[in-house]
Structure 1
């Protein structure tokens, strides 16, 4: 450990790693990781690990590059370092963690570990400095919080900053619950859209079903992001998610999840019991997927396809309009194709980054052509089933103009083929349905197909 250098013109800065440099709480993140790893153990096992603090013990070297840093603080520290100021880290985190961060950034002259009670107190830091260096050094500045940087650099904080912070947190929460992903849940409207006997009440029931599914899906997204923190931070786009980037502390989930759960129950309460049971099944399956199934080769895409199909079935349970066997068969292959396209897009991203494997998936980049072939096969099997369905409807004349349904086939072929090609090129960075909800050509295709179905009615 190096000495401060009492002859320095400017006093050194002692930076609190836990609350100033890091945007996230490592202990909270480790506790969540333990829960995810031990979820199938007895609850008493999880409780004993958390109570004993065993989750704090480093079982493998800390990857300092995968932590969520306060970029404004880090930039200010780098400027001061270039100007010749000595910087030191203090922290209540384990020695190995603090050392890893110190070595990674290369701007700190040294570090020392504090007890949790004194890490933000100047006297406590002074005592630690005395123990480390053998003398009491009074001439230093303690950076306990990000705001301390502004005070020391005369950057100041405007009166409107608190309001901006609140607005930023609101936007982060909206991003965390992935309101954009709610577009997937329009699938609950499929039964009422294709039925020739739907009523206004059916549309109202579908809207409630959409809200209930969206809120429950948001719970699963929050839980999934908490369990995937490390993998997301290594991903080019997922690293920007609120929990991975540190924009939201992981403790936010403690009040966010219950609020979403209550709101989902309120939306589902007026609907049929069978819908509520389907919603519970969906939630359990998404949790199982997030914790375990998404890491299993091919099982993950089958489950993902089933989660799409469950939305369609749930829409039928909410309205009392049961999907036909043809619609279920079409949905299975159609949504399996979308699940495979999603994996194809992820592998294309991995190829661009020259990585061999995603951190939380069982697929390797060498599987890319196989996944692409499976996606194409599933997509055009769905089109084949739809063509047989149209032929069946023409024979039975359940629609007033069933021949009109033939015109949807070219649109399906075009849209599915385009999705496969865009995923192959690496141009699709998110879920195909979410991509389609913001893609002009996809929206036109959807509007045309909807118009064709209404014409057939």
Structure 2
């Protein structure tokens, strides 16, 4: 690196915002922000139109400079150049307000320029326009218009140019984006065939197809949710590592992912009953409403989240033709409400750890932590009570050959639910309790024991 005196006499360094300083496509992200704001403000816009008969056309679709995805290696080198006295200029074809906001945020650029798109994309024309704006000749400054120009800094920077990305990291990023590890939630579609004493091989085959269909549809909602929450995720301590937020996958790749997942889900659901297909559509619509509106509504979000869990069990019954008992429906409603509340409790624990009052897209505050924990405990042990009343009643004697065996599941449920609440209270829970349970040895052991008890009872 050059010394301070040399840098003070070095020619100005002119850097392109879109193609050099940023690692993501700001135009695509701007479109996502516009769609997000249009969707989120739609109820208010409709209400305003009904009152004033005029649509509110004032939208803020500019990306927040604090959460844009910058090339950190280049940024560090530029800060060092500025520290040593070199003049830095940022140019872009974006609106002046956006470029100015980025300049002010970083505080290392002495000036920002706005060129038209044609001038920006033509190297020679770009040099002429920059020279004219700065009052210099074309050779009196150095230009970084793309990663290929990083060599002018005379420091080692990774080549992030147009070379093809390695296949394996991209595959891993896609797997992460569609949340394959969250597919464990969809094992709930197997509950009807697991508890039924008359299940057949055909029922298991139907459950497998239902599992695949639900997993693929859920992945679509995850991709859409990550796109809509792009800026909020980048401000989150762990969610910023998600593929779209971190830049591991470009936003435009969603145009390939979503249709592919949708087609695959349709093929998986096609051989199953029409009632299952309707249930799958209802689930997808509800997940979209949850991602866009409902997850920001106090308590409504946990009720809907609990319903989304319970719908999976209902869908398993529709796929196999196995009728679900009222007892199972009542138990599921309270059990999954408890898990939804534990999920919110875990999120609040994370916010408390990083010193924030609330998550950016939730209605709960950190002072609600104890109340949410109490509600989670109440719902959990109410579910155990429902199960105990079912075992005590005479209804189960019509279904199970050894009904007394069902009593042994109660201490297992009490242990597991109590442990989940306590781990969450300590801040040791991942933000999704079912995903946590799928990777936790003690939770898996509890699940195996309960499954064994059900088979014994049959």
Q: Hey, what does 1:200 align to over in structure 2?
A: 201
Taking a change above 3 Å as real, the CA distance of residues 448 and 11 of structure 1, as seen in their structure-2 partners, is farther
Matched residue of 2:258: which SS? Answer: helix
Q: Hey, what does 1:23 align to over in structure 2?
A: 23
1:205-233 deviation per Cα after TM superposition (whole angstroms, max 9, x unaligned):
11111110000001001111111112111
Taking a change above 3 Å as real, the CA distance of residues 157 and 443 of structure 1, as seen in their structure-2 partners, is same
Q: Which moved more, 1:332-341 or 1:390-399?
A: 390-399
1:412-453 deviation per Cα after TM superposition (whole angstroms, max 9, x unaligned):
111111111121122223210011111111111111111111
Q: Hey, what does 1:181 align to over in structure 2?
A: 182
Q: Hey, what does 2:241 align to over in structure 1?
A: 240
Q: Hey, what does 1:35 align to over in structure 2?
A: 35
Q: Does 1:368 align with 2:347?
A: no
1:395 Cα deviation from its structure 2 partner: 5.8
Q: Does 1:446 align with 2:436?
A: no
Q: Distance between the aligned counterparts of 1:195 and 1:58, measured in 2? A: 54
**Residues 340 and 372 in structure 1, CA contact (< 8 A), matched pair in contact too:** yes
Could you list the runs of 5+ residues in structure 1 that have no partner in the other structure?
Answer: 46-54
Q: How does 1:319-334 map to 2 (within 5 A)?
A: 319-334=320-335
Taking a change above 3 Å as real, the CA distance of residues 118 and 395 of structure 1, as seen in their structure-2 partners, is closer
Q: Distance between the aligned counterparts of 1:180 and 1:399, measured in 2? A: 34
Q: Hey, what does 2:78 align to over in structure 1?
A: 77
**Residues 178 and 218 in structure 1, CA contact (< 8 A), matched pair in contact too:** yes
Number of aligned pairs? 441
Q: How does 1:432-443 map to 2 (within 5 A)?
A: 432-443=433-444
Q: Distance between the aligned counterparts of 2:57 and 2:181, measured in 1? A: 35
**Residues 203 and 320 in structure 2, CA contact (< 8 A), matched pair in contact too:** yes
Q: Distance between the aligned counterparts of 1:368 and 1:19, measured in 2? A: 44
Q: Distance between the aligned counterparts of 1:290 and 1:395, measured in 2? A: 38
**Residues 341 and 376 in structure 2, CA contact (< 8 A), matched pair in contact too:** yes
**Residues 33 and 63 in structure 2, CA contact (< 8 A), matched pair in contact too:** no
Taking a change above 3 Å as real, the CA distance of residues 207 and 395 of structure 1, as seen in their structure-2 partners, is closer
Q: Distance between the aligned counterparts of 2:169 and 2:81, measured in 1? A: 27
Matched residue of 1:216: which SS? Answer: helix
**Residues 21 and 75 in structure 2, CA contact (< 8 A), matched pair in contact too:** yes
TM-score, with structure 1 as normaliser: 0.89
Q: How does 1:57-206 map to 2 (within 5 A)?
A: 59=60, 63-81=64-82, 85-149=86-150, 153=154, 155=156, 165-206=166-207
Q: Hey, what does 2:276 align to over in structure 1?
A: 275
Q: Which moved more, 1:20-29 or 1:69-78?
A: 69-78
**Residues 394 and 403 in structure 1, CA contact (< 8 A), matched pair in contact too:** no
Q: Does 1:421 align with 2:422?
A: yes
Q: Which moved more, 1:57-66 or 1:230-239?
A: 57-66
1:30 Cα deviation from its structure 2 partner: 2.8
Q: Does 1:378 align with 2:379?
A: yes
1:45-102 deviation per Cα after TM superposition (whole angstroms, max 9, x unaligned):
9xxxxxxxxx999849864221112233333434544565543221112222222222
1:37 Cα deviation from its structure 2 partner: 3.1
**Residues 77 and 153 in structure 2, CA contact (< 8 A), matched pair in contact too:** no
Matched residue of 1:142: which SS? Answer: strand
Could you list the runs of 5+ residues in structure 2 that have no partner in the other structure?
Answer: 47-55
Matched residue of 1:430: which SS? Answer: coil
